[in-house]
């Protein structure tokens, strides 16, 4: 069983891969579907939050993995939604899960043309669920969804493929093979880094690919330093205008700033809250008893300070990330971000700031 941290890295890596390389992903994994989509008309990632949470395996999920709007080439003026789930471990209720997600999305978006796809990323070659069925007293339901099994791909063919998403699948397969063997994983990660630089991808593709590989093949700090040194040598030879190390350093700085901003905001908020609480408590204490008032005021102040500190830290870190990715134009959203009271919404927006393809796409999430 993987740790919660490993699951989070896996989810983040795959979701970033799908957002960065959606057409290439569909072309490699679902080629027949790729041929039916009119990619020239563009596509749009949609809000993946469900109207009601879906309980599975003792926990509730509020989000599907990926939901995107596309157009078909069939000449019909219609919009099609693609719902994509990445499943990394065998679960007995996965077909039920896919069915529930399908009808929740179908209902939330007022009955669109909808296609659910499953990417089976587990290590069991015999597990291939693709159908949910129920029948009782003449009432029947049968829901079938396309699947792709990553274990079916030939690694030698993936190494030769010009499709950048082949490297994502290759990284996943190598991560499965080397799990629990960090030295072997280091060698495989170094080999993948050499491949992504040798294939002539543009700087953005290299950055996106390295980010995915880094999520899927997690190493120690010392081992990652070896990888970074290799990247420095390779990029010095290719003279890239913005190296992946520079880009990643920016991201790491933003994440560090987020953590520091939250911590500083909490500390400042607690101090301010305690002071305000004491003052409020003293005033209440004049009427109700100084001791009781001070205690209540301090508690209220601490809680208020923590909340204000979290909001301030999340707001500043989200704005900094937007500014890093999209330039000074992002600063026009400062006032709207500062008006948001919900910490949950700010946490969600901080994630959107990292993955939104454009500033306008992020702005849509603000409502």
* pLDDT over 90 percentage in the chain: 32
pLDDT tens per residue, range 279-292: 765 666 556 655 66
pLDDT band at 152 (very low <50, low <70, confident <90, very high): very high
Give residue 95's pLDDT band: very low, low, confident or very high (50, 70, 90).
Answer: very high
Give CA–CA dist 13/1, Å, rounded.
Answer: 18
What's the pTM? 0.65
Q: Which of 251, 231, 254, 252 is nearest to 243 (CA)?
A: 231
- Segment 96-132, tens digit of pLDDT: 999 999 998 998 888 899 999 999 999 999 999 999 9
Question: Taking 80 as the threshold, does the pLDDT of residue 302 lie above it?
Answer: no
The predicted model gives 54-73 an average pLDDT of 73
Choose among 35, 7, 30: nearest CA to 18: 30
**Helix, strand, coil percentages for the chain (3-state, nearest 5):** 65, 15, 20
Phi then psi for residue 336, to 5 deg, are -65, -40
Q: Are 105 and 83 in contact (CB under 8 A)?
A: yes
For residue 204, pLDDT beyond 70: yes
Residue tagged 């300070």 (tokens): 305
Query: Cβ contacts of residue 110 below 8 Å, gap of 6+?
Result: none
Q: CA–CA distance from 342 to each of 58, 345, 347 (Å)?
A: 26, 5, 9
**Residue 250 — pLDDT band, cuts 50, 70, 90?**
very low
Q: Where are the alpha helices (DSSP H) in 199-243?
A: 203-216, 221-238
**Average pLDDT value for residue range 338-352:** 80
Spell out the domain ranges in the chain: 37-152, 245-366
């Amino acid at each position: 069983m993987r740790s919660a941290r490993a699951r989070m890295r896996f989810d983040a890596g795959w979701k970033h891969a799908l957002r960065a390389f959606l057409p290439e992903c569909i072309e490699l994994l679902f080629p027949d579907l790729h041929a039916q989509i009119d990619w020239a008309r563009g596509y749009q990632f949609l809000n993946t939050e469900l109207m009601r949470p879906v309980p599975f395996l003792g926990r509730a999920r509020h989000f599907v993995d990926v939901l995107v709007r596309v157009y078909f080439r069939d000449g019909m003026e219609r919009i099609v939604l693609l719902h994509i789930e990445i499943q990394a471990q065998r679960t007995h209720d996965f077909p039920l899960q896919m069915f529930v997600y399908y009808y929740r999305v179908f209902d939330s978006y007022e009955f669109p043309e909808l296609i659910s796809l499953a990417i089976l990323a587990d290590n069991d070659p015999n597990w291939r669920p693709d159908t949910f069925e129920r029948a009782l007293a003449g009432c029947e339901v049968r829901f079938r969804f396309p699947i792709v099994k990553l274990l079916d791909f030939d690694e030698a063919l993936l190494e030769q493929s010009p499709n950048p998403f082949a490297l994502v699948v290759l990284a996943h397969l190598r991560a499965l093979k080397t799990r629990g063997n960090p030295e072997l994983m280091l060698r495989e990660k170094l080999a993948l880094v050499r491949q992504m630089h040798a294939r002539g991808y543009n700087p953005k593709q290299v950055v996106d690919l390295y980010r995915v590989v880094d999520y899927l093949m997690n190493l120690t700090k010392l081992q990652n330093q070896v990888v970074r040194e290799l990247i420095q040598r390779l990029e010095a030879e290719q003279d890239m205008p913005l190296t992946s190390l520079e880009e990643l350093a920016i991201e790491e700085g933003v994440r560090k700033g987020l953590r520091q901003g939250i911590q500083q905001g909490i500390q400042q908020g607690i101090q301010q809250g305690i002071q305000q609480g004491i003052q409020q408590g003293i005033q209440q204490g004049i009427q109700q008893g100084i001791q009781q008032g001070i205690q209540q005021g301090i508690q209220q102040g601490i809680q208020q300070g923590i909340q204000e500190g979290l909001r301030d830290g999340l707001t500043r870190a989200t704005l900094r990330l937007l500014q890093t990715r999209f330039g000074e134009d992002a600063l026009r959203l400062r006032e709207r971000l500062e008006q948001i009271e919900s910490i949950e919404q700010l946490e969600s927006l901080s994630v959107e700031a990292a993955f939104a393809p454009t500033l306008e796409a992020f702005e849509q999430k603000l409502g």
